[in-house]
Amino acid sequence: MQARKDAGLVGRTAVVPVWLSRTDHVRAHEACHAAAGLWNQTVSWLRGEWTEGAQPGKEDVRRFVTSLRSDQRPFHAHTAQAVAYDVWDAVATSRANRAQGLKARAPWREKQYRPLSLSAGFGWRVTPKGRLALSLGRGRDRIVLALPQVTSRDGRPVGPASWGEIRLCWDRNARSWALHIAYSTPGDALPGPAADRPTVTVAIDEGVINPMTLAAPLPDGSMSVLVINGRAGRAAKRQRNKTVAKLTSRMARCKNGSRKHRRLLAAKKKVEAKTERRLHDFDHQVTAKAEKFTRGIHATWTKHRREVSGPDTIVGVRLVAGDVGGIERNANKKRRASRSTRQQLSQWSRGRQEDFLQYKTGLVLEHINEAYSSQTCPVCNHRTKVRGREYVCRNTTCGFRLHRDAVGGVNIQTLAVNDGRFRPDPDLRVEVMYRRAQPGWSPLQRTLHAYHQDVLGRAGWEACREARRSAQNRATRGTTAGVAVVPAPRDSTDQTAGTTTLAGAGRTPVHAA
């Protein structure tokens, strides 16, 4: 791994669906159950050693696993070794979390199922006929599949020579197999913060309605803000919740194991699998736009600094997010919110979005205390608690107006660069962009587009009728210096959106004509 880092390579994982024959399907399932049993046996042995006062290390765990009889580990020896190392990694992670003051336990829960880890050159190899062979150990038949096609993020094919460990995983909801192929590719990580380089801070305000709101300063002194709308993700979750509730209600009136019960259960799993794929793609779309914004800020500052300090200047990027950890924990026990809000918090995929963003940018995401960041006016520091989506400062001498999530992003950026203290800026100028995570049409857009097309047709302008894709650009509004344009978030589109330019205290926003 260190040699790969020194060579400028980073690790990626490609998920490739595969189909197994009935015989291979049964053998793979049996091996996955056996891998879970090996995990349970290793955890039991490790806890017994701790009870007796011993302190086994990583290699002690590996030696225990490899000393078991072959019938207790009916798969490749390297697969058993991967189980041992995974157990130790879980122990090391729990110790590191406890050292940071977090509540964490060493592995203790029994597993019923575990993916098969296949190492390169031993667990898997390419046959002379160009097929992929997965080994289940000496004396057992291999699982032979067609060689999967792996493509990197930039669209280039990745050959088997760059592949590492392969995991054979089973999705119980989709009822399908997939290969998780690890491979190396040239790194495109952004430079992180360092003492010998100028650094720009990109702040992130995370939320349920808008998954990410990013704020960063520009060389001209203004603040650039990107609000990523999460309507598509919330719609997918709502549709799943309603469908699953309906199916669960019908299943409750059936006898367990009956034909109708099995059909309803299969339909429920199908809905959950489909929604999970949609949400996985949604999180990728959110973080892709966040990554593009971060790289754009880095490019802008790099160009500016090189014009000032020279062509060899390197600008670092610091990612800082408001610490919202714990809000979604024990939501049902504490009952601090309504039933619908507790459901939204429990289904919040904040952690996965953070992992995706770190994975794409190559940066480490920091967390700071975001208390009162959405209530404090960034212009005058007056605290106002708002109920809607628009923040309006109640200070009569200020009257600052801005999207509430944008206020949170600007204040988190201020806290990050001022050691956790709010600092008012009377000359603050903010440029807000609204983006949808996934391109789509709202009911209002469909209605307006149909009306617009009908008007063109009645006027005899049949040849001038617009295509559906061009209607999304119709909400664009221009801006001029010193003029504020604040479109409603529900009218924003993925292609373009209004830009908000807000000046300091005492100025009233005016919509452009």
Q: Which two tokens stand for residue 482?
A: 């010193």
Q: What pLDDT sits at residue 253?
A: 95
Helix (H, G, I), strand (E, B) or coil at 432: strand
Q: Which stretch of 121-130, 176-185, 249-258, 478-487 has the lowest confidence by average pLDDT?
A: 478-487
Whether 29 has a pLDDT exceeding 70, the answer reads yes
- What was the pLDDT predicted at 453? 73
What are the residue boundaries of the structural domains of the chain, listed by start?
Answer: 2-186, 199-491
- Residues 459-494: pLDDT tens digits? 766 555 444 444 433 333 333 333 333 334 434 344
Give pLDDT tens digits for 386-396: 888 899 999 98
Closest-CA residue to 5 (of 362, 366, 364, 365):
362
pLDDT of residue 258: 96
pLDDT at residue 471, as a whole number: 40
**pTM (2 decimals)?**
0.79
Q: How far apart, in whole angstroms, are the C-alpha atoms of residue 211 and residue 288?
A: 12
Contacts of 167 (CB under 8 A, 6+ apart): 115, 116, 117, 118, 179, 180
pLDDT value for 182: 93
Mean pLDDT lowest for which of 23-32, 191-200, 355-364, 446-455? 446-455
Beta bridge partners of 170: 177
What local confidence, expressed as pLDDT, does residue 364 receive? 92
Q: How many helices (H) and strands (E) does the chain have?
A: 11, 17
| DSSP output for 260-322 | HHHHHHHHHHHHHHHHHHHHHHHHHHHHHHHHHHHHHHHHHHHHHHHHHH-TT---EEEEEEE
pLDDT in tens, 356-370: 999 899 899 999 999
12 pLDDT more than 90: no
Q: Enter the tokens of residue 37.
A: 């049993």
Q: What are the strands, taking DSSP E only, across 354-441?
A: 365-368, 390-392, 401-403, 430-436
